[in-house]
Copies of this chain bind each other. A is one copy, B any other.
Amino acid sequence: MAEEKENIQFELTDELIERVELLIEQKNDKELRKLLNEFHYADIAEILDEVDLEEAMYVIKLLDSETTSDVLMELDEDNREKVLRNLSAKEIAEEIEELDTDDAADIIAELPENRQQEVISQIEDEEHKAEITELLAYDEDTAGGLMAKELVKVYETWTVAGCLRRIRGQAKDVTRVHSIYVVNKQNKLIGRLSLKDLIVAKSDEKIADIYITSVDYVYVDEDVEDVAKVMSKYDLEAIPVVDENMTLLGRITIDDIVDVLKEEADKDYQLAAGITSDVEADDSIWELTKARLPWLLIGMFGGIGAASIINGFSDAMLKFPALLMFIPLIQATAGNVGVQSSAIVVQGLANDTIDGNILNRLLKEFMLGLVNGLAIACVVLVISHFAFNTTYHESLTICIALIAVIIMAALIGTFIPIFLDKRGIDAAVATGPFITTSNDVFGILMYFMIAKFILGF
């Protein structure tokens, strides 16, 4: 069992990094080992993420594989890839022997096709090898891709005493025992027990008499996001994974779910900001450009669209130059309202808090847009009149346009995510630049049409 070091006080200081780098340079293995063994593997990973590859490799070869395997899992993905490239298949296999099957499979999955078999063949523990190979077969976005084979299971026919005796054996391979799964002779999941129940029970009782028949489970092909929803809804810390015959295949623990939830949140956040692929601030300019340029181009075409609309009304521009001053206002407001509406819908869809039919929701957004629109229009009416002494008709045009645009933006921002969601498309793409751009174009078009109607040109 991996000992967790006391580590709240851990802080990644430049001094610490320099100290490590110095010890590496001096090849002072004794001191280095002494220093690093003070830290939790997650902290060692943070240090190695800061030093350069050669230094990281030096540390990884220095520490025992029990530690380094955990460190590998915590490394930044790019760095892990570099490190793995510098390890032989044999060395990687040694690390893998130390890892739980789910982590082991994740590591292997990250290797290039050609190396995967090479590494697997080097794993000595045949059972471990077989289990990892099984896990590699599952799609990484399903319960099967997330689960570990390590679990504690007992047969209903056992007694509490016999159970405890046998569990001692199984438990050694399991870092944390959440639940004990009860199976019948056919290895089908029929219930669960907590270690607590086992301890509280009398030693001569039969498992069949004390186990809890109601047990949560997920199917091996269930989507990870759904697994996350189930586990957080029911406050589960582990959930067994079964196939369609209820055969017990593995278990998923909450710490993996925490990671899933964080990745989901980060992804949605980036999509809302118009970043298409998962990038970090420290990624290369090229990666960041790939992630950012697409939306910028979409926004550009929106801008071009707006330009041709304005161009189409060029005669009006010359008659009523005052109108042009307020294009940015119309555009900005449309964009902001659209993003607000869509964000609320996207979040509601993600949290399953959106119910009722779509028409009611659109009606509500209509009212909301009306309220916000009136409030803003009043302020603009006053300012435009006094600060820009626009004519009565111009002011009227601007205010009515504002209200209309806000309502339209609210409706588009609400409708599109729901529409995409119904089509099975991730609604999260439907906020940010996407909404902003479409609202820019529609908003300006609407603005000129209203102007044409009121001012008549």
Contacts and interface: CB of A to CB of B under 8 A. Distances in A.
A388 interface: yes
B317 A303 contact: no
A321 B318 CA distance: 9
Contacts of A317: 321, 324
Contact of A40 (B234, B280, B289): B234
B6 A340 contact: no
Nearest to A376: B300
B274 A368 contact: no
Contacts of A314: 321
Given A237-B176, A275-B343, A285-B364, A333 B436 contact: no
Interface string A122-133: 000000000000
A330 interface: yes
A380 B196 contact: no
A215 interface: yes
A442 to B, nearest CB: 12
A39 B276 CA distance: 40
A5 B191 CA distance: 11
Contacts of A101: none
Copies in the complex: 2
B195 A296 contact: no
Contact of A285 (B6, B282, B327, B367): B367
A55 interface: no
A200 to B, nearest CB: 5
B388 A336 contact: no
A178 B195 CA distance: 10
A288 B388 CA distance: 32
Contact of A302 (B40, B311, B332, B433): B332
Tell which of A232, A280, A343, A367 has the most Cβ of chain B within 10 Å.
Answer: A343
A214 B4 contact: yes
A216 B368 contact: no
A340 B269 CA distance: 10
Contact of A335 (B265, B321, B436): B436
